[in-house]
Amino acid sequence: MKIGFDHNKYLEEQTKYILERVNNYDKLYIEFGGKLIGDLHAKRVLPGFDENAKIKVLSHMKDKVEIIICVYAGDIERNKVRGDLGITYDMEVMRLIDDLRGYNLDVNSVVITRYEGQPAATILINKLERRGIKVYRHGNTKGYPTDVDTIVSEEGFGANPYIETTKPIVVVTAPGPNSGKLGTCLSQLYHENKRGKSAGYSKYETFPVWNLPLKHPVNIAYEAATVDLNDVNMIDSFHLEKYGETTVNYNRDIELFPVLKKIIEKITGKESVFQSPTDMGVNQVAFGIFDDEIVSEASRQEIIRRYFKTLCEYKKGSLDKDAVSRMKMIMESVGLKGEDRKVVNIAREYNEKHCCIDDGHVCQSVALELDEGDVLVGKFSDLLNGPAAVILNSVKHLAEISDEIHLIPQIVLEPIINLKKNTLKSRNISLNSEEVLMALSISAVTNPIAKYAMDKLPLLKGSQAHSTVILSNVDEQIFRKLGIDVTCDPEFQSTNLYEG
């Protein structure tokens, strides 16, 4: 993979800038947007970016940092799912705590925001508290976000419990957007100032990148990634007017800034040091870019991937037509089409030549491009589905094993097929990618060739793939765990409404 981003330089610049800002206060509350751990979007658009860069920045300062995790009670109640991992937000909170502890970072507490006694949120509170995790309950803030006098009063932020913190940097993060991070930061600023402490607020959000052009592919890729939120990149008019410098922010931050500035000034009793939304940010990611063309091309490919994801989510009922329309406008604005992704054409062409509809199942082909450029294809059959077939074909290619050699003997495959067909009564008995990898690992115990092929699985990381039908959740998660970036045509594999 061609690299266009210097992770070490970014780490150095980012750490230094945060430490410079915290020197202005007794305590600095930093709202962390995006993913704290596993930021795969940033990794894809900034080749060379470490997906765990943010957490590594914090690890460099771990003696000065503690972390508060916010989660909106309504998201817990409706079982909102984190799309990339396929787990609900309550599970993501617990997973995040474990990951943070793995980096020896101090997790202060969890805040349940806009809590009104929702049963599912109450269950999460019980689970956390009984495992020794401090939990705070924040209700709806009276007057928020426009009635500044009420917000900054005992009726507003004063009604929230004060979160006891001990370190100079308090990171406020969440499983996803609209979780109440900003409200929690401002509530803490209110309580800190009531106690006579100098507390500040900053925002650490990787995208949009404030010091790249508005129409830079990196920033457009951010719009594509947040098409469901209707985020729009804009010139920060406040920054331009104050400093004569063109910077980029997004619509929600720009629209909210005048009120946010008033709230901070009301809390502190003095004029805010922030004259623009850009002033609030601490993001230094642009300083790590050393090859703009590589980064730009990676971002264009990410826009295409987001295009296919949007179409599929619409097909599955998760998004509305407006989101699809916005995504198509983004594609047109940068002159892209789905066929500009190499594996798309190969998968479709193979599908037309070699597949057919059988027993209610739409033909499925999956094309996978390896890092060196070779492309392998797998198709749906009675034995294997497309994702399973392409993974096997790819590791055989990497291990230079002939197509005629079977990595998994029939004696291993038959019991699995019989289990699915006769005991579990599955409608689709073709083995998926997870089942095939399990079978391959069993074969590898006695077959050195299978073991050699299985050892090539890590080389699939960073590969690009496309399926002519929407992948099942199982196959999608296996591709994610292997580090394969996969897109799908918005077609279901089967005419059945339920696949059991």
* 3-class secondary structure, 212: coil
Q: What percent of the chain has pLDDT over 70?
A: 98
Taking the CB of residue 54, how many other CB atoms lie within 10 A of it?
24
Residue 237 lies in a domain: no
Residue with tokens 């914090």: 58
Range of the domain at 433: 341-488
- In total, how many domains does the chain have? 2
Give 76-89 pLDDT, tens digit per residue. Answer: 999 988 877 778 99
Same domain, 17 and 108: yes
Give 419-438 pLDDT, tens digit per residue. Answer: 888 888 887 788 999 999 99
**Entry pTM:** 0.92
Task: Give the DSSP letter of residue 471.
Answer: P
Give 110-132 pLDDT, tens digit per residue. Answer: 999 999 999 999 999 999 999 99
Q: Mean pLDDT score of the chain, rounded to an integer?
A: 93
Same domain, 274 and 413: no
pLDDT (mean) for 92-121: 96
Res. 361 pLDDT band, cuts 50 70 90: low
Q: Say what the pLDDT of residue 97 is.
A: 96
CB 70 within 8 A of CB 180: yes
Same domain, 185 and 60: yes
Same domain, 151 and 56: yes
* Closest to 274 in 3D by CA, of 21, 489, 2, 76: 21
Same domain, 280 and 347: no
Q: Which residue has the higher pLDDT, 300 or 250?
A: 300
Q: Say what the pLDDT of residue 147 is.
A: 93
Q: What percent of the chain has pLDDT over 90?
A: 82
CA 419 – CA 299 distance, rounded (Å):
44
The conformational region for residue 359 under phi > 0 = left, psi -120 to 50 = alpha, else beta, is left
Q: Say what the pLDDT of residue 498 is.
A: 62
Residue 125 lies in a domain: yes
Same domain, 120 and 268: yes
In 89-103, which positions are buried (b, 16+ CB within 10 angstroms) versus exposed (e)?
Answer: bbbbbbebbebbeee
Give 230-240 pLDDT, tens digit per residue. Answer: 889 999 999 99
Residue 221 lies in a domain: no
Q: Say what the pLDDT of residue 129 is.
A: 97
Give 181-200 pLDDT, tens digit per residue. Answer: 999 999 999 999 999 999 99
Question: Lowest mean pLDDT: which of 279-293, 439-453, 486-500?
Answer: 486-500
Same domain, 260 and 113: yes
Taking the CB of residue 59, how many other CB atoms lie within 10 A of it?
15
Same domain, 357 and 264: no
Same domain, 55 and 189: yes
pLDDT tops 70 at residue 356? no
pLDDT tops 90 at residue 484? yes
* Closest to 207 in 3D by CA, of 2, 40, 15: 40
Res. 246 pLDDT band, cuts 50 70 90: very high
Tokens of 193: 């100032």
Residue 1 lies in a domain: no
Same domain, 29 and 133: yes
CATH code of 354's domain: 3.40.140.40
Res. 145 pLDDT band, cuts 50 70 90: confident
Residue 245 lies in a domain: no
Task: Give the DSSP letter of residue 95.
Answer: H
Tell me how far apart the 2 most distant CA atoms of the chain are, in Å: 77
Res. 362 pLDDT band, cuts 50 70 90: low
Residue 318 lies in a domain: no
Same domain, 346 and 275: no
Residue 201 lies in a domain: yes
Residue 183 lies in a domain: yes
Give 289-307 pLDDT, tens digit per residue. Answer: 999 999 999 999 999 999 9
Q: Say what the pLDDT of residue 35 is.
A: 85
Angle subtended at Cα 177 by Cα 248 and Cα 92, rounded to the nearest 5 degrees: 135
Give 379-419 pLDDT, tens digit per residue. Answer: 988 889 999 999 999 999 999 999 889 999 888 888 888 88
pLDDT (mean) for 44-50: 96
Q: Looking at 266, 285, 304, which one is the last position of a domain?
A: 285
CATH code of 40's domain: 3.10.630.10
CB 333 within 8 A of CB 220: yes
Same domain, 156 and 60: yes
